[in-house]
Structure formats: C-alpha cells, structure tokens
Structure 1
Amino acid sequence: MADLIVTALPHDALRETPTLTIASIDDATQRAAAVDAITAALADLSAKKAVQKALQYERAYGGAAIYVGAVDGSLDAEQPLQTQTIRAIRHLTVFERRQLIAVEYQQDPMKPDYGKPTLYQVHSFTGVGTGQNVHASRLVIFPGRRVTDRNPTENAGWGDSVLSLVWDALRIFNQSWLGVGYTMLDFSVAIMKIKGLASILAANSPEAVANRAQAVELGRSIAKTILLDSEEEYERKTTTLAGVPDVLGQVMHRLAAAARMPISKMFGQSASGLNATGEGDARNWYDAVAAYQEDSVRPAYEKLLKLLFASKTGPTKGIEPENWALKFPPLWQSTAKEQAETRKIVAETDAINYDMGLVTSEELRTSRFGGEEYSAETEIDSAPDLSESLALATATEQTTQPAQEVQVATQKPTIELTPTDLATIVTVNEARAQRGLPPRPDGEVTIAEFQARNATVIAKAQEATDPSAAPPTP
C-alpha cells in the first residue's frame, strides 16, 4: 500500500506525455515540425521518465533533484549555470534526497530564493569519495512536503515524506490484516472428549492420550472416518468473524482518507450503494491529479524546456520560442460516441455564431481543423471595433477663429460601449455587414435578443465544450 500511495499521483500525472504548443508560428507545417523536434529532444533525454522518478522519490523520501548535464563552458559544477552559454544538454540524472546535502543557503532576505539552499554536496551510496559540490541552478529541485520554514537547515534542506502522514493509519491497516490472517490459521479447532482423561494424565500416561489422538487423525486422513468409543466425542469449533468485515472497512476508509485517495482508487473497489457509479470518486481524484500537475509537474517540465531552448545545439538553436505553452492531456478520455455528440453540439454552436456574424467560415475551419488535432476552442482574427462606428457623439463644437489665428480641430468626445452594451444595440444584420456577410431574414433583432432565442442550443454547446462540466470516464 505504501508503494501505491507514493506512485499513484506521479503515475497518473504523467500517464500521458505533456504536449507543447507554439502560437507564434503561423504556418501549421512549420509549427508541427518545431513541436516534433522539441518533443524528440525531450524523449532523447528521457525527460518524462526522469521527472516521474524524481516525483516518486520526493513523495517517498521527502525530496529529490534532477541534475541537468548542461555543457556551459564551465568545468566547475559549483559555479552557477550560465544559461546564455549552454552548448548542449548531455543527460539528466536523478538524485534521492539522501544523496544531496545542502551546504550553503541564501542569506540575503532581499533575494527571491532567501532561505533556500544554493549549494549541494552529492554523496554516493557506496561511500567512495568526499562528494562533489553542485550549484542549485544546475538542479531541478523537488523539495518534498514542506512542514515549516522556521528552520530551513533542518533535514539538510529537504522536506518530509508523504508517508509520514499515513504512517499510523498504514500500521493499523497492516496489523488488522495480519490479525485476520492469524485468525484464519486458528479458524477451526478440533475437540475430542475422552472418558477418564484426567485419570489417564494423573497416572502419567500421556503416551496413551497421544496415541489415541493419532489414531483418530489417521483414520480421518485415510478413510475419511473417525472411529470413536461409545463414550467418546469429537467435534470442531469455529471462530466467529462477525463484525470483522465492518472493522476492516473502517480501517480501509481511514487509510484512504489519510492518503487523500478515493477508496476505489486505492483498493480497486467499485462504488457501493444505490445509483453509485464512481464518477464522484473519479472526478475528485482527477481534480487532485490536475492540481498536482500544476504544483509539482509543470515547474519541473518548464525549467527543463527553458534550458533545452537555451542550448545552442538544441532544437531551437538557443532561441526560446515566443508564446509557447505546456499542456497536459485530459485525464479522462471520451468514448467515440461522446466525441461525436460533442462535435455535433459544437457544430450547432458554430452555425449560430456564423449566422450572427461573430465568426467567419475560415476562422471556424482553422480553429477546428488547423492544428495537429480537432479543437473545440475558437480563435478569431482581429475584428473591426463596432464601438467606433456606433459611438454616441455627446457634443460637437467648432470655433471659427480670425484668419490670422490657427484653426483648432474639432474634438468629438465619445462614450465607449462594452460588448454587453453593443449586444443590446447592434442587430445581427449590422454585425454581419461589418464582416462583409449577407443579411439574414431574422437578423433585424439585436444580438442579445438573438442569443436569448437560442439560449437552449448555446447552453448545450457550452456544457459540451466545457471539460469541467462533462462527467469523467475512468
């Protein structure tokens, strides 16, 4: 169970490899080629495996680090990493907390890394050598569960293991199941009543009792029969287990609560009860995994990517792309039927937005099918500002000056309208005309009224395209 508690979050957080997007490259072919090159470079370094391993070490031991084998022209790893001179990244090495000891800390309270280690000493498990000092900038740090910042030097600069939270519950769980195992060994006891047993023992004749018991067991083993005297009795008594399942169930719930995991995830049990589907447990677990991705996985991955971008022989030749982003694939996968239903609702929404003149067919085509895969997100080009053409002039003043004076241009103060205000003023056909689209027969109503008439379809589309509104499929 301890292994599951340690590995479950890192495993699910990186079950699918994170993807990279680069919005600054307009050409789809060039964008895909750049993403593929960066992804291949990460795969060559086994970045996903290294991050996952470090996350597991962090949860198990209270900390870990990835040493980035960057070639920056310095032969001393004790010096800060010079990102502007990185020529290549050779390897990624994962260290446990027990292999790294903080030897220097940031003492300047004005620095953003105040109180954090700036220099570590690497120790080998073999005990050979005195250890190599490594600057913190050359490491991707996984600090462990932080208990307090009062004494940063405690635990050699590291945090605590997640197993410290569940130690008592885990011990009770193991003892409970061990007790059940011992009970099963003594579940059934044979009882044999022999007339005059006390007299036989008093006469110091235990051999007679042993011989009689052996004869009974021999007959039961060979002939499946027990031969007894008329005054002898043989029976078996079983240990009652009433209430034990309830106790074990409570112990299991206690352990799952301490580990902050659904009991269905920890023990593989389906949800019980009327109309129980397990979707609630799956949603809670996926929410926890998503939060873990943002808190622990993203910072590590993004630091590795930035160092890879800085490499002169890397996929970007030392130039960091503009508008790049790291995305995590959905934690649950929709079935083919659910995907088809979602696309149908998105298509209906697209038709409404197109009829209102909010988007063009080219924008819809590019948004849905212009990327590496289908997307329900809509990206539009810069549209003309309707507020300029519909601004209300509140005053106009023109002053005629003498011929020798310079004529002052008339200024027209305007009121800037919000999109909500415009929707109550601009009609659908006016909006379509702004985008060069033909009018609609029912387009003489305002955008707000048109949206109100189609509120049901729009609501269904929002529900289908919002991942948080759709029930997960474990």
Structure 2
Amino acid sequence: MKTIDQAKAIRNDFMIGNGKGQSKDALVRQQPGLRRKLSDGDLSNLYANNRIIQNIIDIPAEDMTRSWFTLKMKDEKLKDDIMHKLRDLNAKEAFKKMRSFERLRGDGFISLGVTQSVPFSLNESLDETKLKRLDYIHAFSGMKVSDFIINEDMFSPLFGQVELFQINRRSRMGNQIAGLSQENVHASRLIHDQTRRLEDEYRGQPLLEPLYDIITILDTSLWSVGQMLYDFAFKVYKSDGIEGMSPADKNELGMLMDFMFRTEALAIIGKDEELKKESTPVGGIKDLLDYVWEMLAGAARMPKSVIKGQEAGTITGAQYDVMNYYSRIAAQQENELRPLVERIIRLLLWSEDELGGRIDPAKVEWELKFNPLWEVDSKTDAEIRKIIAETDNIYLTNGVLMVDEIRETRFGQFGLTNVTKFSGDETDLEKMANEVYSSWKERGSNG
C-alpha cells in the first residue's frame, strides 16, 4: 500500500530534477548570463533520448550534403574519375557525419588516410607533393580529441591557429579496450569543422548548450500535456459514508472505483450519493505550446515544419521561412563546406597513383557547383510558370527579346523542365524582373 510520501512524489523530469525551488533550478531562481556547460555524457544522453533534438542536429547536416555538388571541368574523364573516387571514399556520408558531430559536440573532424612516397609521422605536416594515394577518410567528433595545441607566437604567420591535435587512438575487442594511446596529429592531416567558438576558447560550443533551457521547457510541456490527457476527464464521487473512513479504506475504495469506472459503463449508487464528471480546462494551452515551439525554432534557426520532419527539399509558395532556411543552408555550403570539399579534390589531384599521375590543381580549370537544395510543389510550380509566361509577353511587347530567343531560353533542346528548382542564389524571376524594369525605365526616358 502506498504511503503518503509516495502519494506526494513528483515526477523527476528535467525541471524538477534540478531542484524545484532551489538555486539549481534556473527557471525558479533565474540568473541571466550564466552559462550551462554540458559534458560529453550529457550531450549523448540528450541526443539519444529526444527525437526532436536528433532532428535539430542531423537535418541541417543532411540538407547540406543531400544534393551534393557538380564538378565542372573541361576534361570529362578527369572529372568522372574524381567523382568516382569520392564515391569510393563515401565522402558524402563522411561530410554529413562531420557536420552532425560539429553541431552536437562543437567540433567535427575527418581523418585523411594517405600513402606518401616517403616515410612520415602523423605529427609532421602533410606534404602534398609527396602524395601517392588518398586511401580512406573517417569522420569523428571532438570526443576523440583530448587537446588542441595552438600557435601562440604573435610574430608567427600561423598565430592563433591549431598546429597539432592530441588524438585518442583506441582499439577494442568486444567491451575491452585492447589498446589506448594519445598521439599528436598535425592539423594538415585532418579536416576540422568548427562554426561556433567563443573568443577565449579553442573548442567549439555544442549547439545544445544555448538550447538547453528551451529543451527543458519543451520536455516539461510534453509531460504536462500527457498528464492533462491522462486526467482530461475524471469522476467525483460524493457520499456521506466517506467521512468516517480511514485513510487505508479510502485508498482501497479509490482503487476499486477507479478500476470499475474505467471498465464498466454503469454506476450503481444510493439516492443520497452523487457521481459527476469533471473535465480539465485546456484554454490557452495551444498558445503556450506555440510559444515554446517558436522559441525553439528561433534558437535553432530552423522552421518548425523542418524540425518536425517535413519532407526534405519540397516547399509550397507560402513557406517563406523554409525558403530562408534553405538559403541559409546554401550560404553555409559556400562559406563552410566548399573549402573542405575542395581540399579533398586538391589532394586527389596531387596524388600520384589516383588519377593517372600527379596534377597541379592550380594548372587545371575546375569549379565546384552545389546542386539545388529544394524544389517547389506542383501548384507553386504552375504559378511560377504562369508568371514566367506573363513576363515573356512583356519582353515581346517591349522588344526586349524576340520569339526565337524566348523559345530557346524557355524550352531549349529538351523542352520545359518538370519542376522549378532553386539553389539560394538570385532566381531567374528576380533577374527577369530587373531586366523588365530597366527596359521600361529606358523606354520611358526616351519617350
């Protein structure tokens, strides 16, 4: 039989588990500006226990690499060989994992497993002119890195940069660690992904640290909604016989009636007794939950629909927040992903045994172009095509283009494409609008 203390027990969730009403509870005794640092174990548990957190960590990484890129080269065979080698290396998956690790841990890495024409040590700089092969690449997180060795010589051209990473190299046999060693690895033998770093720190900041309070409230709101659903409708039994009952008898009667009223549709009571049904009020709950979601979406810089798992790469015309999200991903591709992918391609070109001989990347014309990230739904696509047709008519009317030019531009050799795609750059519609406006303005000034 339950004791009174057990009956008063409170769920040990995120908020209450930190000490309701105590100084540990940031939501009760709030002190602005205090930072919460999460250990590797905390980050692992948060990620493993919450699917929403997994979406926040993994979806942007998947979106950055999902459409991958097109390599443009005059030498088609060389281009095909490079793309084939990247597929063999499983580069797309490695870069996706690296970005996921960066978001979760603050730092993501890719190790470069190379063969050189001369003996080398991992703590030595990678000499690209001595490369023979790029054999493998492996993604791993900052958990494997115990220390960053920084150049702090202010008269060095490499001042402030990481020179060596102290890596934990382990091997396992089942649950037993068979070998454990720490080794300094030169920064040139790794690809390092880091986008959030405080000025006085060298490690990146995990994304979940500034999100922690919002995740706390989200977890508590989920539990609260569950409690309301569980107790949405409850019965009140009124009887004169209750007053003389002992606590043990009341508890036993409560369990019996709870069982009966959940399993039987008929209640038999005396003429002086009363049984009625009460419902939990839920007015205003939706606004509170929407507020939590808005805060989470704003802090994570992801639309609610994306966090909740909307189909990747497809949007409707009214989803401007999703368009902005993909534009942000496209900017991250250009500013953060491009230099890292180009490094891999340059290493392949330098490798003596990879592409038919060593090639100086500076002497080859090549360009990396990221593929479109998203496409609109069929209704929005039809509306865009209508706008394009109306714009073409304005071109013809104002003498900007001829019929043959429009036919070639819109249909070309293979006809109109099935879907309209965008990559985050200035769209064709914007370009057309600017051209039409310029033509109109010019004609007005001449008239």
CA RMSD of aligned residues (A): 3.9
Aligned pair 1:266/2:317, yes or no?
A: no
Q: What is the letter of the counterpart of residue 338 of structure 2? A: R
Whether the aligned pair in 2 keeps the contact of 1:219 and 1:227 (CA below 8 Å) is: no
Per the alignment, do residues 35 and 347 of structure 1 end up closer, same or farther by CA in structure 2, a change over 3 Å counting? farther
Selected match of 1:248 from 286, 289, 300: 289
Instruction: Give 2:372's aligned residue.
Output: 330
| Structure 2 partner of 1:257 | 298
Going from structure 1 to structure 2, the CA distance change for 1:348 and 1:316 (only over 3 Å counts) comes to farther
**Local SS of the residue matching 2:191:** strand
In the TM superposition, residue 233 of structure 1 has moved relative to its aligned partner by: 1.1
- The answer as to 2:77 corresponding to 1:33 is yes
Residues 340 and 14 of structure 1, relative CA distance in 2, 3 Å threshold = farther
Between the aligned partners of 1:132 and 1:102, the Cα distance in structure 2 is: 10
Q: 2:67 — aligned with what? A: 16
Change (3 A) 1:311 1:262: same
Compare CA radii of gyration and give the structure with the larger one: 1
Go from structure 1 to structure 2 and tell me whether the alpha carbon gap of 1:345 and 1:306 turns closer, same or farther (over 3 Å shift): farther
Summarize the alignment of residues 434-473 of structure 1 with structure 2, pairs less than 5 Å apart.
459=432
Quickly say closer, same or farther: Cα 1:2–1:311, change in 2 above 3 A.
same
Q: Deviations over 1:242-271 (max 9, x none)?
A: 11111111111011111111222223589x
In structure 2, relative to structure 1, the CA distance for the partners of 1:263 and 1:192 (3 Å cut) is same
Equivalent pairs counted in the alignment come to 350
1:204-223 mapped onto 2 (5 Å cutoff): 207=249, 220=261
Residue 189 in 1 paired to residue 189 in 2? no
CA 1:333/1:111 → structure 2, altered by over 3 Å: closer, same or farther? farther
Closer, same or farther: CA 296–346 of 1 in aligned 2, 3 Å: farther
DSSP-derived class of the 1:130 partner? strand
Q: How far apart, in 2, do the equivalents of 1:177 and 1:210 lie?
A: 29
Counterpart of 1:113?
A: 158
Q: Compared with structure 1, are the counterparts of its residues 108 and 340 closer, same or farther at alpha carbon in structure 2 (3 Å cutoff)?
A: farther
Cα deviation for residue 214 of structure 1 reads 7.3
Cross-structure match for 1:312: 352
- Counting aligned pairs with the same residue, the percent is 24
- Structure 1-normalised TM-score? 0.64
Q: Is the 8 A contact 1:62 1:97 kept in 2?
A: yes
Tell me which amino acid in the other structure corresponds to 1:267: K
Secondary structure class of the residue paired with 1:58: helix
Q: Is the 8 A contact 1:309 1:316 kept in 2?
A: no
Q: Deviations over 1:122-176 (max 9, x none)?
A: 114666322222111111111241121x3xxx4xx32111222211111111111
d(CA) in 2 for partners of 1:167, 1:212: 43
For residues 176 and 205 of structure 1, what CA distance do their matches in structure 2 show? 33
Deviations 1:314-363 (A, max 9, x none): 2262212522111101112366866899699899989x8997xxxx99xx
Whether the aligned pair in 1 keeps the contact of 2:97 and 2:139 (CA below 8 Å) is yes
Alpha-carbon distance change, 159 to 223 in structure 1, aligned in 2, over 3 angstroms: closer
Worse-superposed segment, 89-98 or 118-127: 118-127
Alignment partner, residue 471 of structure 1: none
Distance 1:74 1:218, change over 3 A: closer
Asked whether the equivalents of residues 64 and 141 of structure 1 are also in contact (C-alpha less than 8 Å), the reply is: yes
Name the aligned partner's letter for residue 109 of structure 1.
M
Q: Which amino acid aligns with 2:158?
A: D
- What is the rounded CA distance, in whole Å, between the counterparts of 1:324 and 1:268 in structure 2? 36
Which segments of 5 or more consecutive residues in structure 1 lack a partner in the other structure?
26-30, 271-275, 375-455, 464-474
Question: Counterpart in 2 of 1:377?
Answer: none
Query: Residue 93 of structure 1: which of 126, 129, 138 is its match?
Result: 138
Structure with bigger strand share is 2
- Assess, with a 3 A threshold, how the Cα gap between structure 1 residues 344 and 317 changes in structure 2: closer, same or farther: farther
Secondary structure (helix, strand or coil) at the match of 1:237 reads: strand
Instruction: Determine helix, strand or coil for the equivalent of 2:138.
Output: strand
Aligned to 1:239: 280
Q: Is the 8 Å Cα contact of residues 286 and 331 (structure 1) preserved in structure 2?
A: yes
CA contact (8 A) 2:150 2:162 kept: yes
Look up the match of 1:145: 196
Task: Answer yes or no: is the 8 Å Cα contact 2:147–2:167 preserved in 1.
Answer: no
Displacement of 1:284: 0.8
Aligned equivalent of 2:107, options 63, 72, 93? 63
Whole-angstrom CA distance in 2 between matches of 1:315 and 1:346: 46
Residues 71 and 86, structure 1, Cα contact 8 Å, conserved in 2:
yes
Which letter maps to 1:4? N
Relative to structure 1, the CA distance from residue 196 to residue 240 in structure 2 (aligned partners, 3 Å threshold; closer, same or farther) is same
Q: Tell me if the contact between 1:122 and 1:133 (Cα under 8 Å) persists in the aligned partners.
A: yes
**3-state secondary structure, aligned to 1:318:** coil
User: Retained in 1: the 8 A contact 2:391–2:432?
Assistant: no
Q: Distance in 2 between matches of 1:232 and 1:264?
A: 51
- Shift in alpha-carbon separation, 1:2–1:232, aligned structure 2, 3 A: same
Deviations 1:174-224 (A, max 9, x none): 1111112122222222211122432x32xx6965x6787677667656763
